[in-house]
Amino acid sequence: MRRIDMCGLAGIARLDGQDLGPETDSLLNAMADILHHRGPDDRELLRSGPVGMAFTRLSLVDPADGSQPLVSDDGNLVLIANGEVYNHKELAAALPSDVKLRTGSDCEVLLHLYRRHGLDFLRDVRGMFAIILWDRTAGQLILARDRFGIKPLYYHRNRERIVLSSEIKGLFADRATPRRFLWEEALTNPSIAAAPRFTAPGMCTWFDGVESVPAATILRIGLHDGRTTEHRYWELPSERDESAGAESFVERYGELLRESVRECATADTELGLFLSGGIDSASVLALALSEVEEIHTFTALTGGTRLNGDAENAHWLSRELGVHNHQVVFAPDHVPTPEEWTRLLWLTETPMTGPEIYYKHELHRFARIERPELRGMLLGAASDEFNGGYSEDYGGDWDTFLANLEGMERETRLDQRSGLRPWWSGGMSFLSEQALGDLRGGRKTDAYRAYIESEYRKVQQYNVWHEDRTAAGSGVEARVPFLDHRLVELSASVPDHLRPQLLWDKRILRDAVKSLLPRRIAERPKAPFFYGPGTHYAYRMLVNLMRSNDQELIERALAAPGADAYLDADALRQQLALFGSGDTESASVELLMRVVNMGLLSDMVVQPPTLEDMSAGATLRALPAGQDPVVTTGELFAPARPYELDRILVPAAEVLLLTDEEGNWYLTDQGQIEFVLEDGTPILAVLRLMDGRSTLATVLDKAGVAFDEVGDELDTLFGQRLLTSAE
């Protein structure tokens, strides 16, 4: 078994050949204080010569054996690391026989790998990690992160010194680190503006002078002259495997996923799992059950997850698999206070903080209160990004999907040469292929490859960033089995002719786990976490949040440094007023929240608050164990129904009720499966009798079904515009 040790790393090093003075100890202690939530149980400080390190740890068992820094037997190498080396036993077994590991830490093997292989020491390492290693003999500092940047590491440097921290806020303990939000970089970032562009290269840290150690990269920094070299130890593979068939890819994917889940589910303490009711988290759960005796799952019960079926399917699957499922209730009128929101924002350090991040943060808080021994959370995150999970969002078939990707790629390139944009408008271009080729560096673009590279960057900028902070804020370690680099490499190597078969709607995953999961889950269409029929619930929360306390957050954001230069105060206030009651699906709500977040971060960074002094509010409640989330919360989430029993309900245009030769039923919209319907269920009986002439009351009578048996399902179908009232 392996411990789960949530850690915080901090450090400072002179880059001019000088030694640190005793005054550095207070800085290291201050940084450790800021990172206390990442490791409240243990703290170690080291100051020697030009290097100072601080390490905080949340320890579960054998605290002495997992203490850091780790030091080589000759004292020349000193290491602090945050994360897990999943294959440490395999790596240790390959070391020379005279090498003896002195601790039970999975990270100790890194010292010996560095001694043997230099900058190639991470080539065969699997896991998630951020590393600060001091090579005394060479007079160098080695900084590194895992292939996807799951574990964070930031720094600020000048000619004299470099300061490092697991979280950006730790750097502000150093008075030499600038305290200024980067307004222009944030406002022009395509991700934050939700622009139909590929993710920009390079990480945006949002703050002046703050840099992130790149994922899959080793930085070597000289402690005498500051000279820095960058060594990239992993890239997304560019070669496609033309020798393997579809079945081989599926089989291999299943094997690798099983291995990855086994490694992520190995721990000396309790693990939990976020269960959405979709195939990603369900696959991780099914595989984890062969590794752990008991696991508690946690589901966000919101208006959105109730309407899109997530809450219901998570509840159903947990009963099928015999696991505990905690449905944490986000009532329709629930709104965080301005203080609770600013605390979350300071914890996450990103203006992209929104409903998804808030829901996950609250799930982690609930999990730690409900299960005090829980220290690790398994996630189904990052499957969509590399397995075609968003393919249907971009088009109705593979060719349309590719065409839309090519359009995004073109727009991304035209942004770099904005002067050419007027010559590409209205779908017609006066530009030659050569000119467009020049925009791509003279090479023919594989649009799908460009898309995967963009998703790789997005995972770093958004996904693993917030998954780390929302978990760490409650002393929990997030584990992401789908970010095993072997899985991503396999998906990336699928050849062109197999992509439509394997990478449309995550077919490679669905086929790999179909023997592990009920068909209801294995073939369930993707349901966005809060976008879709329940978007208005999440946006109502944000609108009411921004209106709280006389628009406290809006006014604070507008008074922040730099806001007067970049924001139109009247326009922000008018936009908020236009949202009316807050029951809106306009994406402008989320964009306005992101702009407000920018102002709040710009304000907080001037006088950085202490996270522990900010209130997170009361934890939410969950439904009593075993209660059906749809039935139990019917009154709580009851919508104002826009239809009556005396009205005629019919499928919307392009919505069809279909069956196959095996007797399975499907509700499709524009050729895409929206729901899989079980034979013999009341809702199927009702849908089959909707003939465009009979009222709902007549249909219910003919089907022998009471309205209460199908009311919630009709609400869902109506809310998703799959049903409509006939004129």
The residue among 352, 341, 359, 344 whose CA lies nearest residue 302 is: 359
Euclidean distance between CA atoms 86 and 674, whole angstroms: 38
Specify whether 264 is catalytic: no
Task: Looking at 246-378, list the stretches that DSSP marks H as alpha helix, in order from N- to C-terminal side.
Answer: 246-264, 279-288, 303-307, 310-321, 338-348, 355-370
Omega before 50 within 30 of 0, i.e. cis: no
Report how far Cα 527 is from the mean position of its chain's Cα atoms: 16
- Which of helix, strand or coil describes residue 489? helix
User: CA 198, CA 238: separation in Å to the nearest integer?
Assistant: 18
Query: How far from the centroid of its chain's Cα atoms is residue 98's Cα?
Result: 42
Terminal C-alpha separation, the chain: 64
In angstroms, rounded to a whole number, what is the distance separating the alpha carbons of residues 608 and 605?
A: 5
Q: What is d(CA 627, CA 625) in angstroms, rounded to the nearest whole number?
A: 6
Which tokens go with 257?
A: 């996923």
What is the rounded CA–CA span in Å between residue 597 and residue 198? 23
Residue 591: phi and psi, rounded to 5, are -65, -40
Q: Which residue has the tokens 């960033």?
A: 465
Strands ordered across the beta sheet of 140-145:
70-71, 77-85, 127-135, 140-145, 217-222, 228-232
Of residues 662, 661, 659, the one with CA closest to residue 684: 659
Determine which one of 7, 107, 204, 264 is catalytic. Answer: 7
Q: Which residues contact 26 (CB under 8 A, 6 or more apart)?
A: none
For residues 404 and 447, is the Cβ–Cβ distance under 8 A?
A: no
- If we measure between CA atoms, which residue out of 589, 462, 596 comes closest to residue 537? 589
Which residue carries 């007797």 as its tokens?
663
Half-sphere exposure of 298 (CA within 13 A, CB side): 28
- Locate the DSSP E strands across 550-654: 649-651
Number of residues that this document lists for the chain:
727
Number of Cβ within a 10 Å radius of residue 320: 14
Q: Give the angle 621-625-626 at the CA atoms, nearest 5°.
A: 130
CB 170 within 8 A of CB 148: no
Annotated active-site positions, please?
7
